Amino acid sequence: MIQFGLDRLLADPALRRPLAGKRVALLAHPASVTRDLTHSLDALAALPDLKLSAAFGPQHGLRGDKQDNMVESPDYVDPLHGIPVFSLYGEVRRPTDAMMDSFDVLLVDLQDLGCRIYTFITTLRYVLEAAAKHGKSVWVLDRPNPAGRPVEGLLLRQGWESFVGAGPLPMRHGLTMGELAHWFIATLKLDVDCQVITMAGWQPEAGPGYGWPLGERSWVNPSPNAPNLSMARAYAGTVMLEGTTLSEGRGTTRPLELFGAPDIDARAIITEMRALAPEWLKGCVLRECWFEPTFHKHAGKLCHGVQIHVEDPAHYDHAAFQPWRLQTLAFKALRRLQPDYPIWRDFPYEYERDRLAIDLINGSPLLRDWVDDAEAMPGDFDALARPDEAAWEAERTPFLLY
């Protein structure tokens, strides 16, 4: 039976003993829940030996209220517990000196999706840096990486750090938040007191969940468009759609598991993908589909699209599935079929206005350059990515806690 870090902290007074007499703050979001689905703020506030002095909410809010990127949350006072709730996705993305003065120990209880672009990773980096500066302690209450241990993607290149790129990670990093905390501290050479309350019984290689304890724990959306495990598996690829004119399925009930647009031929794209690099499509089933987003890109228009199916254990191969390559290949197929198609979206993305969103998402222009180069083939792209992936596998090994 798996126990998340939060569950262990709640169940074991000895683990909490160092917090006695300290002012404790919590950084959490809607998926920060106990086994019985009590929000961590409420569960921790109910402990007689813990003094909660503040709470922090990342992108989308502490309790979860904002739907899209760059939709900010304000600071407020929690009506139930009477403590200030500071937004780290509003006026600021890094905690201010005044915010840091509100606590002695910060508990971080955030459910990640195992993808570099997920902004909770960047928020973790920022609070660790602030804690080092202010002499505060950080405790990471660890949770599973639902995408499991596989590694995929180019490493973010120097100078491409952003709110969706916290450091030189690949798109699919294969670490938990606790492991990432240790990696940040080592990489950034931070002098900070950081404890990880580890999980008990996490088995990332065990099916059918391969990272997520399917059948043991309820799924709670860590962000509004993360509705299930299938999305978490596909996300390291489908998140790149945010930098394109193609719909990523926002405004449907299966966001970030499908892609499409009114003016593409999805059947032809699937055929072209299979002809170009069939080995990049292993471990899943691609299905031609039609959908009509109710909001966001192409709202109210019928889109021809592709759904990536990774749910059925008979079709899903965890070790073989490569969501990042699959989505890149879809862009390449579309470029070959419709050379003048305006794939890349030119709009402000996560507070960046001077660089294309697709390049920010990928941590360099390398992926876009490959897609747009008519001569470049899948082997050329593999030659770029494989050394990065091997280097990351080696670099992350000392930080694995499970």
Would you say residue 401 lies in a domain? no
Please give the helix or strand (H or E) that residue 155 lies within, else none: none
Q: What is the pLDDT of residue 255?
A: 98
Q: Which CATH number does the domain housing residue 90 bear?
A: 3.40.50.12170
Would you say residue 402 lies in a domain? no
Q: Tell me: do 189 and 261 sit in the same domain.
A: no
Last residue of a domain, one of 207, 222, 237: 222
Q: Tell me: do 313 and 211 sit in the same domain.
A: no
Under the banding of pLDDT at 50, 70 and 90, the label for residue 68 is low
Under the banding of pLDDT at 50, 70 and 90, the label for residue 339 is very high
Would you say residue 182 lies in a domain? yes
Report how far residue 218's alpha carbon sits from residue 231's, in angstroms, rounded to the nearest whole number: 15
Block residue for tokens 């965890």: 318
Q: Tell me: do 217 and 234 sit in the same domain.
A: no
Q: Give the model confidence (pLDDT) of 141-181 as tens digits.
A: 999 999 999 999 999 999 999 999 999 999 999 999 999 99
Token digits of residue 51 = 């003094």
What does the buried/exposed string (b/e) look like for 232-268 if buried means 16 or more CB atoms within 10 Å of the residue's CB?
A: bbbbbbbbbbbbbbbbbbbbbebbbbbbbbeebebeb
Domain that holds residue 128: 5-222
Would you say residue 399 lies in a domain? no
**63-67, long-range: CB < 8 A, 24+ apart:** 63/30, 63/39, 64/29, 64/30, 64/221, 64/223, 64/224, 66/224, 67/224, 67/225
Q: Give the model confidence (pLDDT) of 278-295 as tens digits.
A: 999 999 999 999 999 999
Q: Tell me: do 214 and 244 sit in the same domain.
A: no
pLDDT of 352 higher than 80: no
Name the domain count of the chain: 2
Q: Give the model confidence (pLDDT) of 75-93 as tens digits.
A: 889 999 999 999 999 889 9
Under the banding of pLDDT at 50, 70 and 90, the label for residue 135 is very high
